[in-house]
Amino acid sequence: MTNFLNRSSYFRLAITLLAALIAPSVYATKISAATAADAARTFELAEEISRNLKKSPSEFINSWPGARISTPNLKNEGTYNVSGGILKIGDHLTAKNSSISISADKKNIASVLLSLEGSCVSRQDFKSRYPNYLISNIPRGQSSSEALTLAVVKNQEKMEFSFPETSPDCLSAIRIAPADAQMLKAAEAFN
């Protein structure tokens, strides 16, 4: 009988360990939902950057909301890249990396990229703010680093909001750039 209890105990232990490996850990870090204020501030920041994109690079950099801006470095593609540093968006949300790309002739802002970190601005937050959006990119299942990218055209500028495959309901990056003719036409037809 003692042998049976020991086997039973080992069996329970094995099941418990297996369940612990399969089930999500109670200690796993969950991404908390962004507050309504943080989500709104995220979209307001993107819209503010979009409005300022037509400024000259020097005016744009002078209006940048971040504290630390690097010196422009020439990239391989012939554009200049400026690090915009860390931007505090809300209580629990930051743009951990922000970069500004300037055209090779230094006359225009080519794009701005904000990589978000902290609380989760959900896809529903996005859809509530921008009900008329375009799908800019769909994951094709080639890698876990792919993202669903939803685009909005405002002020003749394209704002792209990326939701990665690894966390499909949380906004991970925002890219803002001048909208090309095809995007402007698609946005006009959609609205």
pLDDT tens sequence across 72-125: 776 767 788 888 888 999 889 999 989 999 998 889 999 999 999 999 999 999
Q: Which residue has the higher pLDDT, 75 or 22?
A: 75
Q: Is residue 111 part of a domain?
A: yes
**Any domain includes 5:** no
Has residue 94 been placed in a domain? yes
Q: Which residues contact 151 (CB under 8 A, 6 or more apart)?
A: 133, 134, 135, 136, 158, 159, 160, 161, 183
Q: What is the pLDDT of residue 24?
A: 40
Q: Is residue 14 predicted with pLDDT exceeding 60?
A: no
User: Is 10 part of any domain?
Assistant: no
Predicted model pTM? 0.79
Is it the case that residue 20 has pLDDT exceeding 60?
no
Range of the domain at 147: 32-190
pLDDT over threshold 90, residue 21? no
Residue 105 lies in a domain: yes
Query: Is residue 17 one of the residues assigned to a domain?
Result: no
Please tell me the predicted confidence (pLDDT) of residue 76. Answer: 64
- Segment 50-56 mean pLDDT: 94
pLDDT of residue 42: 96
How many structural domains is the chain composed of? Answer: 1
Q: Is residue 16 part of a domain?
A: no
Q: Does residue 2 fall inside a structural domain? A: no
Q: What is the mean pLDDT of the chain?
A: 83
Taking only Cα atoms into account, the Rg of the chain, rounded to an integer number of angstroms, comes to 22
Q: What is the pLDDT of residue 185?
A: 85
